[in-house]
Amino acid sequence: MRTSSLPQLCLALSLTLGLAACGGSAAGGSAAAPASSSVAASAAVQGGPEWEKVVAAAKQEGKVVLGVPPGPQYQPAISAAFEKAYPGIKVEITNIHAADFTARIAKERAAGEYAWDVWVGGTDIDVYRLAHEGILDPIKPEVVLPEALEDRNWLGGFDAGFGDSAKKYAMNLAATNSDGAFVNRDLITESALATFDDLWKPDWKGKFVWQDARQSGSGVNAAAVILKIYGEQKLRDLWTNQQVVVSTDERQMAEWVVRGTKPIGLGLVRNRGLEILRQEGVGLNVKSVRYPITLNSPGAHALVAVNRPPHPNARKVMLNWLLGREAGTVLAQAAKLNSRRLDVPVTDPNTQVPQGVETVNTQGEDFAPLRLQANKIAAEVFK
């Protein structure tokens, strides 16, 4: 027996027994996240002396630099949970969209700057390009804690979460069957717009807002899905005949849908606009019209490890934490985006990915050519 791990083992066992006595369970993804103190204790037992050494070195570094999606919900939730589990390691968080992150890191590298440890966001062709340019590190070699890699903890198994073609660099933390189109049902009845095909009806001319598909994000993702299902001409017809308006302002788009200015929205990120308005008591009758195919995409929750990190040990601690059950629960609850981890409670039943059916990851690298094609068509249409 390793005597150096005995205190941690005893602590972990006592915490586990205490949890069992209270009826705690992770079965079926129904249990709450484990307390941060027990997370750290369990990690110490799993990782042994190697993990203890990494955590000690990370505390010497003092902080980890993390990029997360836009939105106020991430910073307090992540910082509070991580810093409680690993006191002495501060989280420096920047809210940054994928398009801005990839552009910024390119400029920094050109200037010889290495500012990032980890980024969580929506993967697209520019993120995958970073991997091909050697700017990202493989994730698996950084994983010390066995439970993070266990296939039984993940929808489809751990490796099924890689979105890049090499299956090394971009790990999907979330699994979402996209909302498709958002429709204000106070103004447009379900009988009038019942299926995705109904979006082409002349009745809806001038009633659309769409996240700008000329850039990366959920707007081009929606366009790429339409390309795959209906073809280029149908996409062009939808954009031109329906006089679609594009925007990059999530709050504005959500308000247009809710207020009825543009009662149909595509490419809207629910937790950056609609969910905020719902918390204010408005937009409660905005419903989604699903795509004709089942999606399994990470949304804004894919994980990459930036190479030449300024805090290599703190990065390793953060990566292992983000792949664990506690972080999965924190992210899912903060953003209302379902985790790929099967032991994390479902936060949005409407977008839960069903098991055992064929799905499409529209943010995977193999889907990138369609996204790029959609970008080019959007640039032509929305001049």
What three-state secondary structure class fits 126?
Answer: helix
Residues 196 and 245 in one domain: yes
How far apart (Å, rounded) are the C-alpha atoms in residues 50 and 71? 35
- pLDDT category, 32, cuts 50, 70, 90? low
User: Strand locations in 153-236, DSSP E?
Assistant: 171-172, 181-184, 208-211
Asked if residues 257 and 184 have their Cβ atoms less than 8 Å apart, the reply is: yes
pLDDT at 2: 36
Mean pLDDT of the chain: 89
In a domain, 7, yes or no: no
Q: What is the mean pLDDT of residues 30-51?
A: 71
Residues 195 and 308 in one domain: no
Q: What is the mean pLDDT of residues 196-207?
A: 98
**Host H or E run for residue 306:** strand 302-306
pLDDT digits (tens, 9 = 90+) for 159-196: 999 999 999 999 999 999 988 999 999 999 999 999 99
pLDDT digits (tens, 9 = 90+) for 296-343: 999 899 999 999 999 999 999 999 999 999 999 999 999 989 999 999
Look up the domain containing 256 and give its range.
Answer: 181-293+366-381
In a domain, 20, yes or no: no
In a domain, 113, yes or no: yes
- Give phi and psi for 292, each to the nearest 5: -75, -5
CATH of the domain at 214: 3.40.190.10
Asked if residues 246 and 382 have their Cβ atoms less than 8 Å apart, the reply is: yes
How far apart (Å, rounded) are the C-alpha atoms in residues 149 and 151? 6
In 3-state terms, the chain is what percent helix, strand and coil (to 5)?
A: 50, 15, 40
pLDDT at 22: 35
In a domain, 18, yes or no: no
- Give phi and psi for 119, each to the nearest 5: -135, 135
